[in-house]
Amino acid sequence: MTFWKRLLGRPLSRYAAADQRLPNIQALPILASDALSSVAYATEAALGVLVLGGSAALGLSVPITVAIIALIAIVVLSYRQAISAYPQGGGSYVVVRENLGRNVGLIAAAALLIDYTLTAAVSLMAGTQAISSLLPELRQHEVSFALLLLALVGWANLRGLKEAGRVFAIPTYAFVVMVVVLTVAGLKDLTFSHGFVPDPPPLVKAIEPLGLFLILRAFSSGCSAMTGIEAIANGVQVFQEPADRNARKTLLVMGILLSGMFFAISGLGFMYGVAPSSDLTVIAQIGTRVFGPNSVLLWAMQISTLLILVLAANTAFSGFPRLAAMLADDQCLPRQMRWVGDRLVHQNGIGVLLGVTALIIFICRGDTTVAVNLYALGVFTAFTLSQLGLVKRWWQRHGNGWRGRLLMNALGAVATFVVLVVIVVSKFEEGAWTVVIAIPLLIWALTRIRKRYRALYSAMALPVDFVLPRMEPHHPLIGNRCVVWVPRICRPTMQAVRYACSIADQVVAVAVLERPEDEPAALEQWKRLVGEGPMVPQLVLLQSPYSSLIDPFRQYVMEQEHAAPPGVSVTVVIPVAIPRDRFDKLLLNQRANVLYESLADDRSRVFSVVRSFIT
């Protein structure tokens, strides 16, 4: 077994994809860890703004929390509607694309791509800060520690969905249990020892006047508690059947847990007069007051916080590759983003997310202060657009109970749009301007890729009058057999087939299907283009038991070489489209390059690379 197979595990059969679906109890930690972990820093984010108004302003954290919880309820109920409307999953991008158009859908996609990368970075950096609150000597190594945690999360996801579910379930539930223990212990202390009179917070001089703008800034910072809510709607296909019903149940459970935990942390922080500190996180300060300094429960609390914050990055590793694959299907990202690896995950998407997240951690130097203020912007952009898309859907289709559904999604659209405006205005100078600029730039890149794919596929299309000439009955080069790789039926492929017919007396075109149900259509298209009879190239369709489309073709070539009689050579013909622009090389021929390297690495073999220039 090779090193990579030992590291990532043996390849999984495509037929094992259904076995990779998870029960609710395992799907919850994979898809909800981001939302649940946000209670570890959302209260602190709101207090970090309120403290600018002085000590007296910190008491507003509780009403702000209540307002955010009401917003959470609206969004959760709205996304339950989205799951009912789109039981196959897809989240905001699919909803917006199908109801508001492809161009508007790209706005949601760009916002989510940025949000996923920031989610991964913020979660890992916040987890590092949680443990450095107990071990101050780690503070100078926070960047290195966060990068190490990033590598571990990426490795777990590359091993497959079910493996990630097993790894992530226990820490997520451990954090929920520790917050419950913290809440119960805090209520016991407030009831029997402390009393329900809030402690005054440390005296802090006001830097800014306590006005509506400051309160709205604190509210927008606290809305970081809502990141990750959409993940369940995006990942419906993760659940066991009936997937949509299980996803709706899990989303409701997540909303209840998130609201209860968020209120508990904010309420205890208010009662104990907790203020933001550069030495201890808010949740660590609460734990110190409730459990006592250096207690076992305090350590358990901080370690569980570290673990769930690390696992919260997994929401991004679940959502980003799936969204990137959907964009690749829509020709808005390079096609290799939709490739499925041996462990039935979109490994290229995971690799891109690993690289971008590492860059953000390095740029931020392990500090969440800036990044945490940015990634709520993408979340609420996607929230608002998806709710508007559902409003249009119910208005056009009506159906049973459509008025109630329309009102629910309209309320969600208005609420999330108001929050979006508040975030943009209040956080613009604190770094939100970077996201405001990044989203249009990413949309431009996605539309340019889509435009180039359309131009390239149009240039590679077969002429209407295309006819493949029949092979000569007595070819002068008797003894030459050609195996032509068919990635798709287009002009470069058929030119390669025509060339093979000119040099061989036997030509076999071989295509490896991703889906068995595509076989009848492929045979019909080939018959229409080539015709029938002994003197035309035969099309062989192979099924791939695993994710690789290269290995079945390679195995077929080896079988043909083994079966060939003495004196008969086998030539592998590979069509390659040569685009005009260098940028287009990223969009085409990647699988052809992998195929050539795979075949050339095995043994001596004859190749013919047929190049077709695309203008």
pLDDT attached to residue 445: 92
pLDDT attached to residue 366: 63
Whole-number percent of the chain with pLDDT over 90: 10
pLDDT attached to residue 321: 86
Query: Structure tokens of 163?
Result: 């493996």
Please answer whether residues 512 and 598 qualify as being in contact, where contact means their C-beta atoms are separated by less than 8 angstroms: no
Give one DSSP letter per residue of 540-552, joined into a string. EEEE-SSS-SSHH
User: Is the model's pLDDT at 370 over the cut of 90?
Assistant: no
User: Is the model's pLDDT at 319 over the cut of 90?
Assistant: no
Min mean pLDDT across 357-361, 447-451, 522-526 is at: 522-526
Average pLDDT, the chain: 81
Mean pLDDT of 536-565: 79
pLDDT attached to residue 478: 57
pLDDT attached to residue 162: 55
pLDDT attached to residue 474: 46
Mean pLDDT of 148-152: 85
User: Is the model's pLDDT at 160 over the cut of 70?
Assistant: no
Question: 569-578 and 606-613 as β-strands: parallel, antiparallel, unpaired?
Answer: parallel
Mean pLDDT of 435-454: 89
User: Is the model's pLDDT at 149 over the cut of 80?
Assistant: yes
Query: Structure tokens of 152?
Result: 């571990």
Query: Structure tokens of 427?
Result: 């956080």
Name which of 300, 276, 304, 279 is nearest 290 in CA terms. 300
3-state helix, strand, coil in the chain (%, to 5): 70, 5, 25
Name which of 150, 154, 514 is nearest 321 in CA terms. 154
Report the 3 state secondary structure along 358-384: HHHHHHHCCCHHHHCCCHHHHHHHHHH
Token pair 């110190």 is at which residue? 288
Please answer whether residues 564 and 591 qualify as being in contact, where contact means their C-beta atoms are separated by less than 8 angstroms: no
Interatomic CA distance for residues 41 and 280, integer angstroms: 12
Mean pLDDT of 336-347: 70
Min mean pLDDT across 338-347, 388-397, 483-492, 510-519 is at: 338-347
Mean pLDDT of 288-308: 87
pLDDT attached to residue 447: 92
Please answer whether residues 379 and 230 qualify as being in contact, where contact means their C-beta atoms are separated by less than 8 angstroms: yes
Please answer whether residues 402 and 394 qualify as being in contact, where contact means their C-beta atoms are separated by less than 8 angstroms: yes
- Name the more confident of 109 and 139: 109
pLDDT attached to residue 263: 94
Please answer whether residues 269 and 168 qualify as being in contact, where contact means their C-beta atoms are separated by less than 8 angstroms: no
Interatomic CA distance for residues 177 and 200, integer angstroms: 29
Interatomic CA distance for residues 422 and 389, integer angstroms: 22
Range with the largest mean pLDDT of 108-112, 208-212, 511-515: 108-112
Residue 512 φ then ψ, to 5°: -105, 120
Min mean pLDDT across 11-25, 110-124, 318-332 is at: 11-25
Interatomic CA distance for residues 6 and 277, integer angstroms: 44
Please answer whether residues 344 and 547 qualify as being in contact, where contact means their C-beta atoms are separated by less than 8 angstroms: yes
Sign of CA dihedral 185, 191, 196, 201: negative
Task: Tell me how many degrees the CA angle 598-571-586 measures, rounded to the nearest 5.
Answer: 45
pLDDT digits (tens, 9 = 90+) for 453-493: 888 888 888 877 676 666 555 444 456 888 898 888 888 88
534 confidence band (pLDDT: 50, 70, 90): low
pLDDT digits (tens, 9 = 90+) for 5-21: 555 555 555 555 445 57
Instruction: Tell me the sheet residues that pair with 32.
Output: none
Tell me the pTM: 0.77
Q: Is 398 exposed, middle or buried (0-12, 13-18, 19+ CB in 10 A)?
A: exposed
pLDDT attached to residue 165: 57
pLDDT digits (tens, 9 = 90+) for 206-234: 777 778 888 888 888 888 788 778 778 87
- Name the more confident of 545 and 265: 265
Residue 211 φ then ψ, to 5°: -125, -175
User: Is the model's pLDDT at 614 over the cut of 50?
Assistant: yes
Interatomic CA distance for residues 416 and 217, integer angstroms: 15
Name which of 548, 518, 513, 512 is nearest 13 in CA terms. 548
pLDDT digits (tens, 9 = 90+) for 248-294: 999 999 999 999 999 999 999 999 988 888 777 888 889 998 998 88
Interatomic CA distance for residues 546 and 57, integer angstroms: 59
Interatomic CA distance for residues 459 and 455, integer angstroms: 6
185 confidence band (pLDDT: 50, 70, 90): very high
User: Is the model's pLDDT at 495 over the cut of 60?
Assistant: yes
Name which of 153, 89, 130 is nearest 366 in CA terms. 130
Query: Structure tokens of 101?
Result: 């158009």
- Name the more confident of 228 and 43: 43
Please answer whether residues 269 and 43 qualify as being in contact, where contact means their C-beta atoms are separated by less than 8 angstroms: yes
Instruction: Tell me the sheet residues that pair with 482.
Output: 507, 571
